């Protein structure tokens, strides 16, 4: 196979640049995954580099799986010797092997977001603060930002400038102590601990530098400071670092991603070769031109001349509706029209939005019209209660010091162990400086003449749970993962417990699905299978489980949509305050990120884009009239096919987008039931074209009256009374 045969000249240049640092600026749809995989194959097959000396880093498990599949076709079995995975997965491997040098026990468990919040709430209480007064998520965000800069608690407390910093510092310090007691790391620790390991152990770093002669990093614009330092630490041994990314798609600053990493790469590596991938293979010419005009308004970027050999395609459709309900109805109706008249699959359509709250009106419309959909980042499989419970049993089996898992399942199923007992157990364990599991062990070892901590009844319940877990721990050394899984589910009483609930069958199906996942690890050695399984289910992300073969419409946030593609894309909420979000109004850097977010959404589309807004929107408890998104003004008129669902404007460019007087929005009535020129909600009317219908609402608008009517054959229509010529029937 000629590895270079299917590449365009720029892609070939990027693949063949194997010596020294390389910066590949890859526009959307330009084939960057193909370039990375072909670079790896080229290094192995042409340059003779052993796969063992190559590291390829991605940001999602989905991307890693796709890269692995492509590489298998190119280099076959050599894939198994590569170091390929996400930043977090690679750091887990490093810490399991060498983490002792920085105080990390190789048997550590990984706490996910829910576990982290649980431990933060406990930390707040233990430092004398009220979790209801100080938002745990805000504290988690502040701690995550600190860890992205490798700022440990002592330094954070010293650097604090505000009272909130003082609160975070106190919680951060106790939180890390509790993590250590539980032999646990959170996601941010995986990165920070690895960097601190390399800083403090040059001999260990040297070993990794010697091994990894070539490093490839995907989505480099999304790296934060600790990830950048990690790559620099390992890569400085040979300086064969190839980073691939696009500053125009940097949308994760809230996760501490630092755009400067890619913009300043050439300063840190002045000898770097820069390759531009500008040919787009995904979108039509019109979509690409609209996106390019939009993003060109940003200042913090590296200019690219995107182009494509694809067809010209249809213009971007800008649509204005009246409310978010009408916005959702338009989306559903248009998708159904595309399916029936244009042969589009439901699975080829995605509806994207800025905030999760926007999905409510959309979901209601899809349910009402019976159109199949899937909501990305609804309740994720691994966040479902029954799944978390079984995982907690298995985590506690692997690591008895895991206090979060212990507190989760010590009374699930119910064993008569209440919150007061658990609080007393926690305080006693804290006073002795041991884990809660070790405290249970000491309770079981008390002699008859020693003063008991609990009543004989409660002591018996606690010791019973301890004996149950001790049995699981013993069996985990002998049984494969599936056999251990079955033992836990049956012996704990969880199967009987879950099937006794009203929705028990559905929840039991989820447990069986988790067992299916466990079967992938049944051939590993007992303890190895358990450890690997727990790593896998903890590090998975929202889009990792997205099944693109299922024929349903995808509802997804713009942030989650990066890396995906669809034939048809709807972006709803194109209003100032929504997209761009109101929090960005006073921050030019944040405004540029909002524009990049819109750019990412548009460039997910292959052949059709709809930009939809509502004139009036109820969101987060209030109803507002929002201006059209300023980003619409960045797209030239000749690239837009506009329409408005306002009466009398069918087929025209949305007037409110381009000619609506933004300073004189119409006032809104407070009572839709008020009669308007003899009509009120519930009246039966007749229209010369639409036929018979029922009035849904009436309200005055700019000297006229707006009437919404549900017609028997024509559906819901919004009409101006002066033009509609409605006849009142009853």
Q: Which candidate in 395, 408, 604, 717 is catalytic?
A: 604
Catalytic residue among 10, 219, 222, 248: 219
Helix (H, G, I), strand (E, B) or coil at 502: coil
How many angstroms separate the CA atoms of 67 and 61, rounded? 10
Partners of residue 720 on adjacent β-strands: 706
Residue 52 annotated to the active site: no
Joined together, the tokens standing for residue 270 give 């002045």
The catalytic residue among 37, 116, 249, 538 is: 249
603 conformational bin, left if phi > 0, alpha if psi -120 to 50, beta if neither: alpha
Q: Hey, what are 154's tokens? A: 């002592």
Residue 662 annotated to the active site: no
- Is residue 249 annotated as a catalytic residue, yes or no? yes
Q: Which tokens in the block code for residue 718?
A: 């919004």
Which has the closest alpha carbon to 507: 682, 387, 401, 596?
Answer: 387
The one catalytic residue in 18, 33, 532, 560 is 33
User: Cα–Cα distances in Å, from 532 out to 62, 67, 460, 526?
Assistant: 17, 20, 34, 10
Is 548 annotated in the active site?
no
DSSP result, 230-250: HHHHHHTTT--EEEEE-GGG-
Between CA 537 and CA 391 the distance in angstroms is 9
**Which DSSP category does 661 fall into?**
-
Contact 307, 280 (CB under 8 A): yes
What are residue 628's DSSP bridge partners? Answer: 575
Catalytic one among 115, 218, 320, 592?
Answer: 218
Q: Which of 10, 11, 12, 32 is flagged as catalytic? A: 32
Respond yes or no: is residue 32 known to be catalytic. Answer: yes
Alpha-carbon torsion (181, 185, 190, 192), positive or negative: negative
Which DSSP symbol is given to 449?
T
Helix, strand, or coil (residue 93):
helix
Q: Cα 565 to the chain's mean position, in Å?
A: 16
Q: Would residue 60 show up in a list of annotated catalytic residues for this protein?
A: no
Could you give the CA distance from residue 344 to residue 340 in angstroms, rounded to a whole number? 8
Whole-number Cα distances in Å, 531 to 38, 80, 718: 32, 19, 59
List residues bridging with 26 in a β-sheet.
277
The answer to whether 208 and 94 have CB atoms below 8 angstroms apart is yes
Q: Which residues are catalytic?
A: 32-33, 218-219, 249, 604
């Amino acid at each position: 196979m000629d590895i270079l045969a299917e590449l365009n000249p720029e892609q070939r240049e990027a693949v063949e640049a194997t010596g020294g640092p390389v910066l590949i600026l890859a526009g959307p749809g330009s084939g960057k995954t193909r370039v990375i995989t072909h670079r790896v194959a080229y290094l192995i097959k042409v340059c003779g580099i052993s796969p063992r000396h190559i590291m390829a880093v991605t940001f999602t498990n989905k991307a890693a799986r796709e890269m692995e599949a492509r590489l298998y076709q190119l280099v076959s079995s050599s894939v198994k010797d590569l170091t390929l995975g996400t930043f977090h997965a690679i750091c887990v491997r490093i810490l399991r092997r060498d983490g002792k040098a920085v105080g990390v026990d190789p048997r550590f468990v990984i706490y996910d977001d829910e576990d982290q919040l649980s431990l933060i709430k406990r930390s707040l209480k233990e430092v004398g603060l009220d979790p209801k007064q100080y938002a745990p998520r805000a504290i988690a965000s502040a701690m995550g930002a600190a860890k992205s800069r490798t700022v440990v608690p002592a330094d954070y407390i010293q650097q604090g400038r505000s009272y909130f910093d003082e609160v975070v510092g106190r919680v951060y310090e106790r939180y890390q102590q509790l993590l250590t007691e539980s032999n646990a790391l959170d996601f941010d620790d995986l990165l920070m601990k690895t960097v601190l390991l390399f800083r403090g152990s040059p001999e260990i770093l040297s070993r990794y530098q010697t091994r990894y002669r070539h490093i490839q990093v995907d989505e480099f614009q999304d790296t934060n400071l600790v990830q950048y330092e990690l790559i620099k630490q390992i890569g400085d041994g040979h300086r064969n670092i190839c980073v691939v990314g696009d500053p125009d798609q940097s949308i994760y600053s809230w996760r501490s991603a630092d755009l400067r990493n890619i913009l300043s790469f050439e300063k840190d590596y002045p000898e770097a070769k820069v390759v531009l991938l500008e040919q787009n293979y995904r979108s039509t010419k019109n979509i690409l031109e609209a996106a390019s005009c939009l993003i060109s308004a940003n200042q913090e970027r590296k200019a690219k001349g995107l182009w494509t050999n694809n067809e010209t395609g249809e213009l971007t459709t800008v649509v204005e509706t009246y409310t978010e309900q009408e916005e959702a109805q338009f989306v559903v109706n248009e998708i159904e029209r595309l399916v029936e008249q244009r042969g589009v699959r439901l699975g080829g359509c995605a509806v994207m939005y800025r905030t999760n709250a926007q999905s409510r009106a959309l979901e209601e419309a899809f349910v009402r019209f019976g159109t199949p959909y899937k909501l990305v980042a609804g309740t994720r499989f691994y966040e479902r209660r029954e799944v978390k419970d079984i995982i907690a049993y298995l985590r506690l089996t692997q690591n008895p010091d895991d206090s979060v898992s212990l507190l989760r399942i010590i009374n699930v199923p119910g064993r008569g162990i209440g919150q007061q007992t658990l609080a007393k157990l926690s305080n006693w364990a804290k006073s002795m400086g041991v884990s809660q599991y070790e405290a249970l062990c000491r309770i079981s070892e008390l002699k008859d003449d020693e003063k008991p901590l609990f009543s004989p009844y409660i002591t018996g319940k606690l010791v019973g749970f301890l004996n149950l877990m001790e049995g699981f721990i013993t069996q985990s050394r002998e049984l494969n993962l599936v056999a251990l899984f079955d033992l836990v589910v049956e012996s704990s009483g969880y199967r009987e417990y879950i099937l006794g609930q009203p929705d028990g069958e559905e929840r039991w199906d989820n447990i069986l699905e988790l067992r299916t996942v466990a079967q992938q690890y049944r051939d590993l050695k007992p303890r190895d299978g358990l450890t690997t399984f727990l790593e896998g289910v903890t590090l998975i992300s929202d889009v990792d489980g997205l099944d693109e073969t299922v024929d349903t419409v995808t509802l997804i946030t713009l942030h989650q949509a990066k890396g995906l593609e669809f034939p048809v894309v709807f972006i709803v909420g194109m209003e100032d305050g929504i997209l761009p979000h109101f929090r960005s109004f006073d921050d030019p850097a944040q405004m540029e990120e909002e524009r990049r977010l819109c750019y990412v959404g548009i460039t997910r589309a292959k052949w059709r884009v709809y930009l939809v807004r509502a004139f009036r929107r109820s969101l987060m408890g209030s109803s507002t009239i929002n201006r059209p998104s300023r980003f619409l003004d960045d797209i030239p008129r000749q690239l837009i096919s506009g329409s408005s669902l306002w009466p009398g404007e069918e087929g025209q460019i949305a007037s409110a987008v381009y000619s609506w007087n933004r300073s004189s929005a119409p006032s809104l009535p407070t009572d839709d039931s008020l009669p308007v020129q003899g009509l009120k909600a519930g009246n039966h009317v007749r229209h010369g074209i639409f036929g018979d219908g029922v009035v849904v609402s009436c309200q005055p608008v700019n000297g006229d009256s707006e009437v919404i009517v549900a017609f028997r054959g024509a559906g819901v229509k919004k009409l101006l009374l002066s033009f509609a010529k409605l006849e009142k029937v009853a």
